[in-house]
Structure 1
Amino acid sequence: MIRQIAILLFPNFSNLCLANAVEPLRAANTLSRKTLYQWHFLGLDTGPVLSSSGLPVTPAMTLSDLTHTDYLCVMPSYGHRDFTRAAHLRRLRAAAGRSGALVGLDTGSLVLAAAGLMDGYRATSHWDVLTEFEESYPEVTVVRDRFVIDRDRLSCGGATTTMELMLEVIAQHHGPMLSLDVGALFMHGERPGTGPHLPGVAGDRVVRAAAALMRRHLEQPLPIPEIARRLGLSQRGLEQRCHAAAGRAPQSLYTLIRMSEARRLVQDTALSVAEIAGRVGYADASAMTRSFRSAFGLSPRAMRAPAPMPR
């Protein structure tokens, strides 16, 4: 399934916000070796739209031309109040009816709220405008968080959090392994081998500590009861925290971390499969290969093979 992403650009949009919205999608396509996402840019009118730093982007169509999209991302960034005129909001409401989900990037959630499209939803925005958001739109439950996903409404607080939101979207669509690898590609979070972005883990201190222990014990994995003991928890307590924060059992999280390191070694080194297996805690290279194929859909040797040239 290819998901369509439409990005509505307003004059003075943020280059950084735009890059952090699009580049994770591009990386997901590249790493998976198939088209998972397609995106195109919209404008309020025809012609180039200038960013806050003067970069021109020429949209493929106007907002009124949009026929269907899975996600409509609204990106006003600076000067968002200038885009809440009645004519703009009417067009936005019409486009919302042709969109699966609405995404407020940076101050985009305020523009969506002005159109009445966030009523009854939880949402966030840039921290500079959160008080204005709460006072101006009482029908919206304003959350002071980096990003919020509430059913078919998504929002985030700025350029950096746009990447975090996109990583979470990728995780929901294609699993945390691909999201982790996309984040590591942009050096998001800790460096590979010490802890790239793990969706859902960052919000729980105990689970972060468990993941750190797992990363430090790849060649000789610790038993889950031992990890729990070192953290001052029962095994059941650790399982509950992992399920709540990451939606998976501790052993599944451990496998995710080990396979992420295995993939890095496959792609970045010339080590044999047997050597890689030993470095991520597998005495049997065949067992590691089975786990690797389950995680990525390819064997280590197939992943190392050059991608076929497009025709």
Structure 2
Amino acid sequence: MQRQIAILLFPNFSNLCLANAVEPLRAANTLSRKPLYKWQFLGLEGGPVLSSSGLPVTPEMTVSDLAHADYLFVMPSYGHRDFTRAAHLRRLRAAAGRCGALVGLDTGSLVLAAAGLMDGYRATSHWDVLTEFEESYPEVSVVQHRFVIDRDRLSCGGATTTMELMLELIAQHHGPMLSLDVGALFMHGERPGAGPHLPGVAGDRVVRAAAALMRRHLEQPLPIPEIARRLGLSQRGLEQRCQKAARRSPQSIYGAIRLAEAHRLVQETRLSVAEIAGRVGYADASAMTRGFRREFGHAPRALRAPQPAQSLTL
């Protein structure tokens, strides 16, 4: 199922917020080798929209032209109060009726609230405007969280929290392993070996830290007890966190990471299967091939087109 994302850009939107919304979707498509997400840009009116740093983006259509989307991302930043005029809010309410879920990024939740579209929901926003949000819209349950998902209303506090929200959406849609892979592509998560404070953080961050360690030790895999020790956890503690966050054991996560790297090497290099097996920590090619077939449904060589025969010219 391909999900349709409409991104409504307001003048002075944040480049970083936009990138953190779109790049995880692009990465999910790339890593899964499937068009999981499709997105389009909207404006309040025709013509380019300038970001806060002057980057112009030319939307494909106006918000009034939008026929349908699974998610409507609302992305203002500075000057959000300028976009709560009655005409803008009417167009926003009309578009919201043609969309499945509404997402307020940065100060977007305040604009949605001004349109009456957040009443009865929990929401957050940038910490600079949380007091204003709470005082101006008492019908909304404002919370000081980095992001909030409340049924068909989503919100987050700014550019970096947009990445966190997108990773959570990808996990809900396509499983925690793809979300972990997307996060790793952007070096998102705890620094490996960050020390004994890690047991106090949320479980998904611990799993991302464990996965980062695993990716750094493919050719000579670390024992699971050693990974747990480096993260300041017991082996049982790591296993519990992995089960809760990813519904897989640490061994299963490690195996999936190694096989994903094997898949990449098969597709992108001309290394032999035996060489690839060694690079991802398998003692022999047969063992890797069996795991590869279980994970992907085919043998490594099935990904490689046969090379054309070379004629010998005398």
Shorter-chain TM-score: what band?
A: 0.7 to 0.9
SS in 2 for 1:70: strand
Where does 1:49-60 land on structure 2 (aligned, <5 Å)?
A: 49-60=49-60
Q: In the comparison of the two structures, how many residue pairs are matched?
A: 298
Residue type at the aligned position of 1:9 = L
- Whole-angstrom distance in 2 between the partners of 1:232 and 1:6: 42
Contact 1:6–1:39 (8 Å) recurs in 2: yes
- 1:58: Cα distance to partner? 2.3
Q: Structure 1 180/232 Cα, relative in aligned 2: closer, same or farther at 3 Å?
A: closer
User: Is the 1:202–1:208 contact (alpha carbons within 8 Å) kept by the matching residues of 2?
Assistant: no
Amino acid at match of 2:102: L
1:203 corresponds in structure 2 to: 202
How far apart, CA to CA, are the structure 1 residues paired with 2:145 and 2:135?
Answer: 17
Residue aligning to 1:45:
45
Over the residues paired in the alignment, what is the CA RMSD in angstroms?
Answer: 3.5
Give the Å deviation of 1:141.
3.1
Alpha-carbon displacement from aligned partner over 1:271-294 (angstroms, at most 9, x marks no partner): 432233234343343443344455
For the pair 1:15 / 2:11, whether they are aligned, the reply is no
Q: Matches of residues 1-311 of structure 1 in structure 2 within 5 Å?
A: 1-189=1-189, 203-204=202-203, 207=207, 210-211=210-211, 214-215=214-215, 218=218, 219-222=220-223, 233=234, 235=236, 237-263=237-263, 265-266=265-266, 270-295=270-295, 299-302=299-302
Moved more, 66-75 or 179-188: 179-188
SS where residue 53 of structure 1 aligns? Answer: coil
Contact 1:106 1:157 in 2 (8 A): yes
Deviation at 1:160, TM superposition (A): 2.5
Counterpart residue type for residue 222 of structure 1: P
Q: Distance in 2 between matches of 1:223 and 1:51?
A: 46
- CA deviation vs aligned residue, 1:25-74 (integer Å, no higher than 9, x gap): 23333333332222111111222222222222222222122221011000
Is the 1:77–1:106 contact (alpha carbons within 8 Å) kept by the matching residues of 2?
yes
Go from structure 1 to structure 2 and tell me whether the alpha carbon gap of 1:297 and 1:122 turns closer, same or farther (over 3 Å shift). Answer: farther
Distance in 2 between residues matched to 1:203 and 1:153, nearest whole Å: 22
Matched-pair contact (CA < 8 Å) for 1:42–1:63: yes
Distance 1:202 1:144 in 2: 17
Q: Which moved more, 1:170-179 or 1:44-53?
A: 170-179
Deviation at 1:245, TM superposition (A): 3.2
For residues 202 and 141 of structure 2, the distance between their equivalents in structure 1, rounded to whole angstroms, comes to 20
Distance 1:108 1:70 in 2: 17
Deviating more after overlay: 130-139 vs 297-306: 297-306
When residues 187 and 245 of structure 1 are mapped into structure 2, their CA distance, relative to the original with a 3 A threshold, is closer
Q: How far did residue 5 of structure 1 move?
A: 0.8
1:163-207 per-position Cα deviation (integer Å, ceiling 9, x unaligned): 33223322332333433443444444479x999xxxxx9733754
Which protein shows a greater Rg? 2
Structure 2 spans left out of the alignment, 5+ residues: 195-199, 307-314
Q: Per the alignment, in what secondary structure is the counterpart of residue 40 of structure 2?
A: strand
The match for 1:309 is none
